[in-house]
Amino acid sequence: MLPWLAELSADHLSTVRDTPLAKLVRDDMLAMILRGELRPGQRINEPDVATRLGVSRVPVREALRELESTGLVVARKHAGVFVREPTGDEVRELYEMRGLLDGFAGRRAARLEAPARLALADRLDASIDAMNAAFAVHDVQRYYRENLNFHWAIVEAAGNHALAATYRTVVQKLHLSRLKNLSQDMGMRASIAEHTRIARALRKGDIARCEDLMARHVSDAYDRLQSRR
């Protein structure tokens, strides 16, 4: 679902030798959460996860501690560890942060040299075509996936590792708030029009406009989300 989501499996765990087991387990559990196999609010059963991944409970516990530090799971005394359910205030704050990050990414991407910038613009146009195709058949999940690809392409092109890491953290938390309504249309038509304006501004190398459009797009997306609640 998410562009950076590693497709790990239990078989993969037995073949990787250079990565600590706890990290592999963490990555696999992260994938399970972000694919919706472990749902927001659900208690994570350590023995079940360990059996599924073919490991002991020790690396599972270590992985859960790491995931708790990212805010994706929460430990409750005498109750266990649960997949985090973001509150309304948390979602608002995450959208505010994402607006800042997207704006910064748009500014940096629009400053790329012409060959790299035009190649990125072509990639964004292809992404918009895919969004239009999803919209035509009302495939909301396909649209949502392509929407994430569009934004991640710009973040990657910005060439800032700290930005990319922070962006992943923010979007993963927001993704938890969307898992319960991935089939709900959050304004695809308006969103596609906004994406089109962003791609045009980037193609022209209009730095200020690209930054502004990216930030406003995220703000408008939050407004659309609120209007459907």
- Which domains are delineated in the chain? 10-83 (1.10.10.10), 88-227 (1.20.120.530)
What are the φ/ψ torsions at residue 126 (nearest 5 degrees)? -65, -40
**pLDDT given at position 7:** 43
As a dihedral over the C-alpha atoms of residue 94, residue 142, residue 154, residue 8, rounded to 10 degrees, the angle is: 80
Amino acid at 38: L
Give the pLDDT of residue 10.
46
Tokens representing residue 158 in the block: 């910005």
Element (H, E) at 122: helix 114-136
pLDDT < 50 regions, the chain: 6-11, 13
CA dihedral 181, 42, 164, 214 (to 10 degrees): 20
The half-sphere exposure of 68 on its side-chain side, counting CA atoms within 13 A, is 13
pTM: 0.83
Is 87 exposed, middle or buried, given 0-12, 13-18 or 19+ CB atoms closer than 10 A? exposed
